[in-house]
Amino acid sequence: MGGPGTVAAIQARSLWKSYGTSRGITDIDLDVARGEILALVGANGAGKTTFMRVLLDFIRPTVGAVTVLGFDSVRDSVEVRRRATYLPGELVIPRQLTGLQAYDRFTFARGEGRMARVHALAERLDLDLSRRVGDLSKGNKQKLGLLISLAPPADLLVLDEPTSGLDPLVQRIFAEIVEERAEEGAAVLLSSHVMSEVEQVARRVALLRDGRVAVVDDVDAIRARSRRRGRIRPRNPEDLPAIAQAIAAVPGVADVVADGGVVAFACSGDMDALVKRVADFAVTAFDIAHADLEDAFFA
């Protein structure tokens, strides 16, 4: 049953988990290839954590099945967990342990002799393993969670809200480490309730809504059709109507509003025509916000 070779890292088929109430997952089909980084994005209660906890056999599917590297999540759960590491979304580590003791408590069954790798990773995350968990800040606790899930060798990393509580610098280091693990061949499944936290890391995104996979797409494709918010402030306020009229005619520009000395709009696709049209006017500010990929899912 299962094993290495060419099998998918995750293969979910008609997976249902119902709790009788609203929360749960409904008819999920999802494949994650080896070496792939896939993000589950959705509001709280959309089913991200439920899906991850089914993978690791903390909860059992009501209908359907999911395999991890060919191993059935229920029947071969120990084999699944031998190959997968996990970062819980609500990370709690006993306060009285030091970082190193905590690492030991939560990885003892994964074999020994990789302490050099653990210390190297701790150094990279700037985490002091000799301090007690109770004395760590929220961000440092999260780093310890990352260490526990990223340091042991694994073919699949299941990371629930991995970047929560991390400052931007550590988020970048996290993205680098995940990238490296993927290059080594590990599949990575991570979740977030905000797209902006995962679009730097993930190659593909699955949007979950009310327990269903609403859309699955490549981040690049989503970015290409994403709408960005823009604002133009002309030097001469009398230009406002003219600018509004001019850019409204550009393909891909919508929702043009001239108010309070600025023209606000939304745009998508190629920016060239827009920039050239705006160049006809004297402007003091021209801002294009970072693409809101969340909107783009529904574009």
Partner 1 sequence: MKSALGVTASDLRLRRTSLLMWAASVAGLVAGIAAIYPTVRANPSLDKVYGDMSPTLQALLGGSSLTSPSGYLRTQLFAFFLPAVLLVFAIGRGASSVAGEEEDRTLDLLLSQPVARGRLYIEKAFAVVIGVSVLTLACTAAIVALRDPSHLALPYGNLVATCMQMGLLCTALGLGAQAIAAATGHRSVGIAATAGYTFVSYVVYGLSATVHPLYDVRPLTLWRWYLAGDPLTGGFDGKEVGVLVAVSLVTVAAGVAAFHRRDLHA
Where on the chain is the footprint of partner 1 (CB under 8 A)? 49-50, 53, 56, 58-60, 77-79, 81-82, 84-86, 88, 90-94, 96-97, 101, 104-112, 145, 148
103 vs 281 by CB, closer to partner 1: 103
Q: Can you spell out the DSSP letters for 124-136?
A: HTT--TTSBGGGS
Min. distance of Cβ 183 from partner 1 in angstroms?
23
Rounded to whole angstroms, the Cα distance separating 72 from 59 reads 13
Burial of 58 (0-12, 13-18, 19+ CB in 10 A): middle
86 vs 265 by CB, closer to partner 1: 86
* In contact, 176 and 182? CB cutoff 8 Å: no
Q: Can you spell out the DSSP letters for 133-156?
A: GGGS-HHHHHHHHHHHHHSS--SE
3-class DSSP state for residue 190?
A: strand
Min. distance of Cβ 223 from partner 1 in angstroms?
32
* In contact, 92 and 151? CB cutoff 8 Å: no
DSSP run (H or E) holding 256 = strand 253-259
Min. distance of Cβ 56 from partner 1 in angstroms?
6
23 vs 277 by CB, closer to partner 1: 23
Q: For 19, how many CA atoms within 13 A lie in the half-sphere containing its CB?
A: 11
Min. distance of Cβ 27 from partner 1 in angstroms?
19
Burial of 19 (0-12, 13-18, 19+ CB in 10 A): exposed
3-class DSSP state for residue 207?
A: strand
Min. distance of Cβ 44 from partner 1 in angstroms?
12
166 vs 240 by CB, closer to partner 1: 166
11 vs 149 by CB, closer to partner 1: 149
146 vs 262 by CB, closer to partner 1: 146
Min. distance of Cβ 185 from partner 1 in angstroms?
19
Min. distance of Cβ 74 from partner 1 in angstroms?
11
3-class DSSP state for residue 260?
A: coil
Sequence letter at residue 33: A
Rounded to whole angstroms, the Cα distance separating 155 from 34 reads 8
Task: Copy the structure tokens of residue 212.
Answer: 């269903």
- Closest by CA to 150, choosing from 185, 188, 112, is 188
64 vs 252 by CB, closer to partner 1: 64
94 vs 237 by CB, closer to partner 1: 94
Min. distance of Cβ 24 from partner 1 in angstroms?
11
